[in-house]
Amino acid sequence: METALNELPLAIFTTLAPMGAGAFAVLAAAFCTMNLDDVKIKAIDRFSLIPLGLIAVGFIASFFHLASPLKAYGVFSGIGHSPLSNEIAVGMVFFVAAIVYVALGFAGKLSASARKPFALVVAVLALVFSLFTGLAYMMPTIPSWDSPLVSLEMVGSALLGGALLALVVLALAKAFDGVDGHVMKSVAFLAGVIGFVAVAVALVGHFDMLGELWSPAVAGVSLAEAVVPFLWAAAVCGVVGVACLGVASFGKSVLVPAGVGAVASLVGIFLVRFAFYAVWMSIGL
């Protein structure tokens, strides 16, 4: 568990940033499926500061993982051949695009014709960023992390948490007032369920992979057994999140169940990330 505590800033980053990114991906669907007037659009832009804030906090946390945060610019020197540098580069491109998108919308400078394609571009960048966040851990020197399942887990977490957070934003913006929004709720539900299944599949596969690893200092199975309580707690949070997503998507109320589900999914994702860093095992150790 000492490794997980040492990597706590990265656990925060890989929890908050992909979840906020996933919200932008799902929110893009709102502009494609709903008839939104100017008042609702302005409100959505205003409350989009919530997922943007989560992403910002995540990136700030990541800098505290560096031995010298003031030398963070050195990370960019490895773009193209370092998975970590690629992740940060893609993340910054997405973050800047999201900031510009929200700022233009907040200032009323984003025209109706430009909003939908811009929102879709941000959505694609959000999912690519989540994918690259997982790819950053595919390192042969750390076999307990070196698996494409990590990327599947990151994208799944982004979809599950992002779907709930997007519903919170839309509910706060009163975008569901009236008969419109049924398709959007269905899209959010589908995205969240796909995300939950993806995370579950990734965790089962990763857990099975750990059982086959061994080093002179520790067996992978012992590492896996140590994080079982965290994963069970995460599973409970995930089930609560999906249940709340269902109520928010098909029930009469959206804000409260989506809010509860978003908090539950955030806690569950963090527990998964904490467990992930706890199973660190290098080739020589």
Q: What is the dihedral of CA 43, 44, 49, 50, to 10 degrees?
A: 110
The domain 2-278 is placed in CATH, from the list 1.20.1630.10, 2.40.50.140, 3.30.1360.40, 3.10.20.580, at 1.20.1630.10
Q: State the pTM of this model.
A: 0.90
| pLDDT tens, per residue, the chain with 285 residues | 556 566 788 999 999 999 999 999 999 999 988 988 889 999 999 999 999 999 999 999 887 755 455 445 555 555 555 666 777 889 899 999 999 999 999 888 888 789 999 999 999 999 999 999 999 888 888 888 888 999 999 999 999 999 999 999 999 999 987 666 889 999 999 999 999 999 999 998 988 887 777 665 566 677 778 888 999 999 999 999 999 999 999 998 999 999 999 999 999 999 999 998 888 767 654
Q: Where are the domains of the chain?
A: 2-278
